[in-house]
A and B are shown apart, each in its own frame.
Chain A
Amino acid sequence: MDETRMTGTAGREAGGENDPRTGRAMDTVVRTRGLTRRFGSFTAVDGVSLDVGRGEIFGFLGANGAGKTTMIRMLCGLLMPSGGEATVAGFDVYRESEGIKRNIGYMSQRFSLYEDLTIEENIEFYGGIYGLKMDEIRVRRDALLEMLGLQAEARKLTRDLPLGFKQRLALGTALLHDPKIVFLDEPTSGVDPRVRRAFWDVIHEESKKGKTVFVSTHFMEEAEYCHRVSIMRDGKVIALGSPGELKREYGRSTIQDVFIEVASGRTAAGGGEARAGGSGDSAGPAGKGGEGS
């Protein structure tokens, strides 16, 4: 079957039981096998198999249209896959999307708080939607406002915030209900480097607390902050591994150079295939999580 083949290349054989970062065994929280999504005759995501563990920061790199957003949308339950399997937090994407929704946070490319509500009203609304009690909402709201240094602005309309704060507020809101997994779809596009830095501080903080973070990005230096990175092209994962591994494998000094070589498909015809296969082997750490224990 499809997924067996895929696990074959990307998972099982590569084997290994340990977290690439800590060396400790880890639980898989996101697992896909041959996950595919077609839009008419166009295949946006083509047989992707991944295992991502607890506390891992997993980066999606890829040119526009490579399938990153489609991948994230399927894992969030926003889009039905056309084929393959996937579980998120142990829930099946086809049948148990309600379970998934309780356990994930999501931040899309677009700013998705209500601009005509105040900051605290936005927090209260999303807290309420996630079923938090009013006093829980208050505690978390105050903590979030303090973290952002926005206590004084709590009653201001969200539309009046600078973009950087808006994005950090959106991230804080996506984390409000303490989800196991957070999906961030190009969360830092359009914000300045200082804010981006602050953003990544939060991401690392959450990862230490055991949250799994999926993040897609255009910024190659951000890829260096991830524990593992997958590079997608034409709906396929063509390279997968820790930033260090990828750089070693492709003999490049930065992820940017690796990305340019891999994603542009400059490794012509047969070479491309070989590379893809090769990256499958290097994707070992992915399998480690999946088959751990």
Chain B
Amino acid sequence: MRRIYFMMKKEFRQIFRDPPMVAIIFVMPVVQMLVLSFAITTEIKHVKLAVADLDNGVATRAITRAFANTDRFDVNIVTDDPAAVKEGMRSWDAQVGLVILPGFGRDLARGPAPQVNIVMDGVDGNAASVAMGYAAGILQDYAEKSAAGAPAGAAGRGAFPARMQERMWYNPDLDSKNYMVPGIVVVLLTILPMMLSAMSLVKEKEIGTLEQLQVTPLGRRELLAGKLTPFLILSFIELAIVTVVAVLAFGITMSGSYADLALAALVYLATTIGLGIFISTITGTQQQAMFVAWFFMMFMILMSGFFIPIENMPPFLRRLTLLNPMRYFLAVVRDLFQKGTPLSSLWKDMLPMGLYGLAIFASGVMKFRKRLG
């Protein structure tokens, strides 16, 4: 126990003596949260819209107003020349064009559902399809309103025999922050413990102190315990910082219990710290360790559903995600934050995560011991 204490003391001293390390541990998570949560957003606002209104009647002006009244769209160009829409798109002044043909108002009054043409800049396909959805929603909204306001028997009602009512639960505004920030918690608890433990073990190997430690009475279990406990503690501090910033600064609602979050994190840390140990046994220098850790990190993040929803992946890749411990932890953390599901109901994710943690940590420790034997 005393040996572990001295080992931990030494480890903390080394970490806090290294200013870049301190920055990585305490500043990086907050910066990452700021950058990622604002930059990676699936919602789209202020889409530049060009309206070519060839009809220019009461109805079409109302439609234009309906677009202008949301913050989804900024009506940049209003023209009566369809060519101007094309021009606007070329010069990046418009991302979406709305072309209303002459006679729209007349047709609307008469009955047959008139058409509007929407053209999209498909360069950013994702944004285009999201904007498309918004545009359709606004048009439908307008159509419903005008139908409701129209005299009985007007065509409008017939045009919308069934209405779909969408309601988003848990994240009613589809606010991507609620989705992304818990994901960042997961990313940080993946990168930090894995990097720290791999780098610090390999560093001792590189500079020769590991060999020196091996001729002391310090056992390998004590060595690992003394070396890794500080990283476990730091990871929890990290988790606390990120959660506090998420809740206080970003207004993320934490629906579940913090104790559940801590417990799930502990299980997950067995995986990431275990991976760190494992990496340290297959590499000889810090550079090598960095690259290998990078590889694991990329795989884990890309295959976790953090950026790309798992449902959107081809079946082969979808099955591949089952090998990824981060996938389960991400699901658990998102459930805890957004739905407040108790951990006991999340066993479907907790179980594989725990098994991976156990297997990876045990094999890391075993490989570490064997190497030195």
| B215 adjacent to A114 (CB under 8 Å) | no
Whether A112 and B5, one on each chain, are in contact in the complex, defined by CB atoms closer than 8 angstroms, is no
Which B residues have a C-beta under 8 Å from some C-beta of A? Answer: 2-3, 5-7, 9-10, 13-14, 17-18, 207-209, 211-219, 373
Q: B163 CB to closest chain A CB, in angstroms?
A: 68
* Residue from A102, A112, A121, A129 with most neighbouring chain B CB atoms (10 Å): A129
B268 to chain A, nearest CB (A): 30
Please, could you name 16 A-B residue pairs with CB atoms under 8 Å apart, sorted by A?
A: A77-B214, A77-B215, A98-B219, A101-B216, A108-B208, A110-B207, A111-B208, A112-B208, A112-B212, A115-B207, A117-B14, A128-B2, A128-B3, A129-B213, A129-B216, A129-B217
Asked whether, in the complex, the Cβ of A125 is within 8 Å of the Cβ of B10, the reply is yes
Chain B residues positioned under 8 Å from A104 (CB to CB): 215
Residues of B within 8 A of A121 (CB): 10, 13
CB <8 Å contact, B214 and A129: no
Q: A117: which of B2, B10, B217, B373 is its contact (CB, 8 Å)?
A: B10
Q: A110-B207, A121-B13 are in contact. Are A129 and B215 (CB under 8 A)?
A: no
How far is it, in angstroms, between the C-alpha of A106 and the C-alpha of B17 when the chains are bound? 27
Taking a contact as CB atoms under 8 Å apart, the answer to whether B217 and A130 are in contact is yes
**Majority SS at the chain A contact face:** loop
Given contacts A80-B373, A129-B213, A131-B3, contact A114 B10 (CB under 8 A): yes
Q: Contact between B209 and A113 (Cβ–Cβ < 8 Å)?
A: yes
**CB distance B215 to A116 under 8 Å?**
no
Q: A111-B208, A114-B209 are in contact. Are A78 and B214 (CB under 8 A)?
A: yes
Given contacts A110-B207, A113-B209, contact A129 B3 (CB under 8 A): yes
- B13 and A106 contacting across the interface, CB-CB below 8 Å: no
Residue among B9, B213, B217 making CB contact with A131, cutoff 8 Å: B217
- Complex CA gap A277/B373 in Å reads 35
Q: Does A126 contact B (CB under 8 A)?
A: yes
- Min CB–CB distance A86 → chain B (angstroms): 15
**Which A residues have a C-beta under 8 Å from some C-beta of B?**
76-78, 80, 98, 101-102, 104, 106, 108, 110-117, 121, 124-126, 128-131
Q: What CA separation (Å) do A128 and B14 show in the bound complex?
A: 16
**Measured between alpha carbons, how far is A142 from B373 in the docked complex, in Å?**
35
Q: Check A106–B215 contact: CB distance below 8 A.
A: yes
> Shortest Cβ distance from B201 into chain A, in angstroms?
14
**Separation of A130 and B211 alpha carbons in the complex (Å):** 15
Contact of B215 among A76, A110, A124 (CB under 8 A): A76
- List the A side residues contacting B14 at CB < 8 Å: 114, 116-117
CA distance A101 to B216 in the complex (A): 5
Specify which chain B residues have a CB less than 8 angstroms from the CB of A124 in the assembled complex: 6
Checking B6, B13, B18, B208 against A129 with a beta-carbon cut-off of 8 angstroms, the contacting residue is: B6
The 10 closest A-B pairs by CB, nearest first: A128-B6, A110-B208, A112-B212, A106-B215, A112-B208, A125-B10, A129-B216, A101-B217, A76-B215, A112-B209
The chain A residue sitting closest to B208, CB to CB, is A110
Q: How far is the CA of A113 from the CA of B3 in the complex (A)?
A: 17
Q: How far is the CB of B103 from chain A (nearest CB, A)?
A: 79
Least CB distance from A204 to B in Å reads 23
In whole angstroms, how far apart are the Cα atoms of A108 and B216 in the complex?
Answer: 13
Bound complex: CA A77 to CA B220 (Å): 13
Given contacts A108-B208, A128-B6, 7 further A-B pairs with CB under 8 A are A78-B211, A112-B207, A113-B209, A116-B17, A116-B18, A128-B3, A130-B216
A266 to B373, CA, bound (A): 38
Smallest Cβ-Cβ distance to A77: which chain B residue: B215
A116 to B9, CA, bound (A): 13
Taking the nearest CB of chain A, how far is it from the CB of B134, in angstroms?
55
B208 cross-chain contacts in A, Cβ below 8 A: 108, 110-112
**Chain B residues within 8 Å of A102, by CB:** 217
**Distance of A104 from chain B, by nearest CB (Å):** 7
Across-interface contacts of A78 in B (CB, < 8 A):
211, 214-215
CB pair B2 A131 closer than 8 Å: yes
Residue of B nearest to A170 (CB): B212
| Pairwise interchain contact A126-B216, C-beta atoms closer than 8 A | yes
| Bound CA–CA A183/B241 (angstroms) | 47
Q: Report how far A126 CA is from B212 CA in the complex, Å.
A: 10
Q: How far is the CB of B317 from chain A (nearest CB, A)?
A: 41
Name, among B9, B209, B215, the residue most crowded by chain A CB atoms within 10 Å (CB to CB): B215
Which residues of chain B are near A129, meaning CB under 8 Å?
3, 6-7, 213, 216-218
